[in-house]
Amino acid sequence: MDIPMRSIIKDTEYDFLSKGRQALIGSGIVCVIALLSLVFLGLNLGLDFTGGTLIEVSYPEAVELAEVREALAEAGYGDAVAQHFGTSSDVLIRVAPREGLNSAAISSDILRVLEAQQSGVEMRRVEFVGPQVGDELVEDGGLAMLYALIGIMLYVTLRFEWRLALGTIVATIHDVIITLGIFSLFRVEFDLTVLAAVLAVIGYSVNDSVVVLDRIRENFRRIRRGNALKIMNVSINQTLSRTLMTSLTTLLAVIVLFLLGGPAIRNFSLALIIGVLVGTYSSVYIASATALELGVSREDLLPKAKEEVDERP
C-alpha cells in the first residue's frame, strides 16, 4: 500500500540531509584537528595513569577545599588535586611524581604546609601509585575502548545493511575522536572517570544512531514514493522528538553534576556533556549522511525474495 509521505511527517519537515555532504566535510576537518592534537599534544593524563602520591588527611572540623588548594599552590603544589573524602573534614590529595622526592618526603612536606595553615591536621594514609601501574592502566583503558568499538562494529554489522552499519561505525568513531580531541586541545585532565565517560559516550552514540537508522530501514520498506534523500529526511523527522527529549533530559542531569558535583566528577561530567551533544549531532548528520553518500537505496533494504523450487518430478 502506498503511504503518502506528508501523512507520515507529524510535526516537522526539516530538510536535514540536503547539507549532509557539507556536514561530513566539516566534521572531517574537526576530526583531523582532534587527531593532530592527540598525536602532537597527547592527553593530559591524570595521576590514575601517570602515577603519584595519594595522601588522606583529616581536619578537626570542616574545611573548604579552596583554602586547601590555595595553601598547596603557594607551597609549589599547584598541580595537586584535592577533594573531600567521606566527610567535609576529610580531604584526599593527589600529587604528581616529583623528581628527587619519594612519597614519604612529599607527604611530610604537604602535612607541614597544611599544619601551617590550620593546626590539628592528621595524616590518615599515604599511598604511592608507581608509573608501572599507570602504564598498565593506560593499556587496559585503551583496550577497553577498543573492545567496546569492536563489539559495536560486530553488532551493527549483523543488524544492518552494510551501508547503514558503516554509517553507525563512522558516527561512533567520530564522537570518540572529537571528545578526546577536546580534552587534548584544551589540556583537560584525563583520568579513569573520564575514560568511563568516554565508554558511556560510545554506548549513547550507538543507541541514538540505531534508533534513527532503524526507522530509515523501516521507512524504505513502507514508503513507496520518494527517493532515498526524502525517505531518510522523513525518518529523521519522525525520530527527532525522541532524540531531542533523550538528549535534553540527559544533558540536564549531567549539567547539574558538572555544576554541583565538585572537582571529583567535573571532568567526567564534561566528557558526557561533549559526548551527548556530539552524539546527537552525529546520529543525524554523520550516520545517516554517510549511508546516503554510500548510495543506500530501497532495493538494498527490501527483504530478499525466496526462490521457488519446482519439486514436481
Average pLDDT score over residue span 58-73: 87
**pLDDT for position 230:** 86
Quick: pLDDT tens for 205-243.
888 888 888 888 888 878 777 787 888 888 888 888 888
pTM for the model: 0.77
For residues 92 and 100, the answer to whether their CB atoms sit within 8 Å is no
Question: Could you give the CA distance from residue 68 to residue 83 in angstroms, rounded to a whole number?
Answer: 9
User: For residue 303, what pLDDT is reported?
Assistant: 61
Q: For residue 152, which of 205, 211, 196 has the smallest C-alpha distance?
A: 205
| Range name among 69-83, 132-146, 242-256 with the lowest pLDDT average | 132-146
Per residue in 272-309, pLDDT (tens digit) is 999 999 999 998 889 888 888 888 776 656 665 554 44
- More confident: 301 or 150: 150
When pLDDT is averaged across residues 195-201 and rounded to a whole number, the result is: 87
The mean pLDDT value for 10-24 works out to 79
Q: Which of 214, 210, 218, 238 is nearest to 8 (CA)?
A: 238
The share of the chain scoring above pLDDT 90, in percent, equals: 18
- Domain 52-129 maps to which CATH number in 3.40.50.300, 3.40.50.10490, 3.30.70.3400, 3.50.50.60? 3.30.70.3400
Q: Is the pLDDT of residue 6 over 50?
A: no
User: In the chain, where does the domain assigned CATH 1.20.1640.10 lie?
Assistant: 5-43+133-301
Q: Read off the pLDDT of each residue in 54-78 and give the average, rounded to a whole number.
A: 86
Beta bridge partners of residue 83, listed in sequence order: 92
What is residue 130's predicted lDDT score, i.e. its pLDDT? Answer: 65
Interatomic CA distance for residues 272 and 251, integer angstroms: 8
Which segments of the chain belong to CATH 3.30.70.3400? Answer: 52-129
What angle do the packed helices 162-185 and 131-159 form, to 10 degrees?
A: 150
Summarize the confidence of residues 143-171 as an average pLDDT: 81
45 pLDDT band, cuts 50/70/90, is confident
pLDDT value at 154 more than 60: yes
The residues that bridge with 204 in the sheet, in sequence order, are: none
Question: How many Å apart are CA 159 and CA 279, to the nearest integer?
Answer: 20
Averaged pLDDT, 20-26: 90
Length of the chain, in residues: 313
Q: What is the average pLDDT across 164-177?
A: 89
CATH fold of 5-43+133-301 reads: Multidrug efflux transporter AcrB transmembrane fold (1.20.1640)
pLDDT tens digits, residue range 252-267? 999 999 998 877 788 9
Q: Measure the N-to-C terminal CA separation of the chain; round to a whole number of Å.
A: 38
Supply the pLDDT for residue 40. Answer: 93
Q: What is the DSSP letter of 13?
A: -
Amino acid, res. 287: A
pLDDT exceeds cutoff 90 at 34: yes
Mean pLDDT of the chain: 81
Determine the pLDDT at residue 180.
94
